[in-house]
Amino acid sequence: MEQAVTYHVDERNVALITLNRADKHNAFNDDMIATLTNLFTRAGNDSSVRAVVLQGEGKSFSAGADLEWMKRMAQYDEAKNHTDAMALATMLHTLYTLPKPTIARVQGAAFGGAVGLIACCDIAIGSKLSKFCLSEVKIGLIPATISPYVIEAMGARVCRRYFQTAEVFSARRARRLGLLSEAVTEDELDSTIDDIVTQILKNGPVAVSQAKALVQQVANAPINAELLDETSKQIAKIRTSQEGQEGLGAFIEKRPPAWQEKRS
């Protein structure tokens, strides 16, 4: 029996996490959610992994929630539904806080919860032919667990529209709204992601991880004396760290830093 989610670390130390239910358009259920949570945790804890690419096998990135799973959820009482929803919320948060660069590779349909997966990633590259929909209200539900990430990616005013209308929107619009970082042709998807990964791998791995955490820490913080002190402490700490010293030394000595030499 094929695995619903596959995990592979390539020769560049990039973890490829693939939704592997192409016959179901990669719709996810509770088992897949548990697997994804474990794999995101695994990638985050593996010091050799430099970046994570999340992708879907087949024609679609993901159609969102699996029909059979939704049928089961409909029979649950409120307490069981809360437990079930918390599992999804935990998976999304694990992806959002994963301490490595995360890249979503998007083709075909990305509906419902799949939009949340994309919004949780740091970077999202989509095919120009991909389509998006926050479809929950069509079946009398709301995009609750994905909402913090989608609102952060697209903005509250935009989400008021798409949460309520469940309109399908294009990759071009997704790019304009901030859900996608870039919209490219199908043939350019992999090369565009490879170019981004190449840029990431040139950089200090600890610095990259801390830069991601910095954005999450600072984004909604008031610019006050406490923040000035905290950010000053962070740059002072990393300047005197092993990686910071190596990077500064390499720059001054006009040589590649050690983390690049390891890849040559």
pLDDT one-digit tens code per residue, 130-183: 999 999 999 999 999 999 999 999 999 999 999 999 999 999 999 999 999 999
Q: What CA dihedral angle connects 16, 17, 21 and 22, to 10 degrees? A: -40
Q: According to CATH, where is 1.10.12.10 located in the chain? A: 204-261
- Please report the pLDDT score of residue 76 as a whole number: 86
CATH class in words for 204-261? mainly alpha
pLDDT one-digit tens code per residue, 45-102: 999 999 999 999 999 999 998 988 888 888 889 999 999 999 999 999 999 999 999 9
**111 token code pair:** 């509906």
pLDDT one-digit tens code per residue, 169-182: 999 999 999 999 99
Distance linking the first and last C-alpha atoms of the chain: 39
Q: To 5 degrees, how large is the angle CA 195–CA 131–CA 121?
A: 45
pLDDT one-digit tens code per residue, 95-122: 999 999 999 999 999 999 999 999 999 9
Per the prediction, the chain carries an average pLDDT of 95
**What's this model's pTM, rounded to 2 decimal places?**
0.95
How far is the C-alpha of 221 from the C-alpha of 27, rounded, in Å? 36
Q: According to CATH, where is 3.90.226.10 located in the chain? A: 5-200
CATH class in words for 5-200? alpha beta
